[in-house]
Amino acid sequence: MPSGKVWDMSSTDEANRLDFLFERTVFVDLCTLKGQIEKVESEVFEIHQLIGAKKQNLNRIAEEVEDALQALETLRRMLLEKHNVNVYMARVKVKLKNRRRNFYMKGDE
């Protein structure tokens, strides 16, 4: 069983705090959820193509990973801003689930 602090899932301060890696994109307002999910899929497909190449370019793979992260973050903002989904609580639940599965290194909790 994982050790470490227990998260207070009822804390409104914590529930409203999010860390974003990228600036807000115009696509939060312009895209539909379906359209943004398709963008995420296309970015992941580009990563698959680069990984499958005979000569892998790790720098290009890293760039496409960042593109995929930005597309996912845009989707996350859409869920939060346009659909009032508490994405922070979704993160908390995923972390708790993965902590129970022992996915995290000791000391990184």
CA 43/CA 38 separation, integer angstroms: 9
* DSSP 8-state class, residue 9: T
CA 33 to chain centre: 15
List all residues 6 or more positions away from 76 whose beta carbon is below 8 Å from its beta carbon: 87
Q: Say what the pLDDT of residue 3 is.
A: 40
> How many Å apart are CA 61 and CA 70, to the nearest integer?
14
Q: Report the candidate in 16, 36, 50 with the shortest Cα–Cα distance to residue 78.
A: 36
**CA 104 to CA 29: how far, in whole Å?**
35
* Token pair for 61: 């793979």
- Give pLDDT tens digits for 70-94: 999 999 999 999 999 999 999 999 9
42-70 pLDDT, tens per residue? 999 999 999 999 999 999 999 999 999 99
Mean pLDDT across the stretch 5-17? 45
| Separation CA 7–CA 93 (nearest Å) | 10
* pLDDT for residue 109: 57
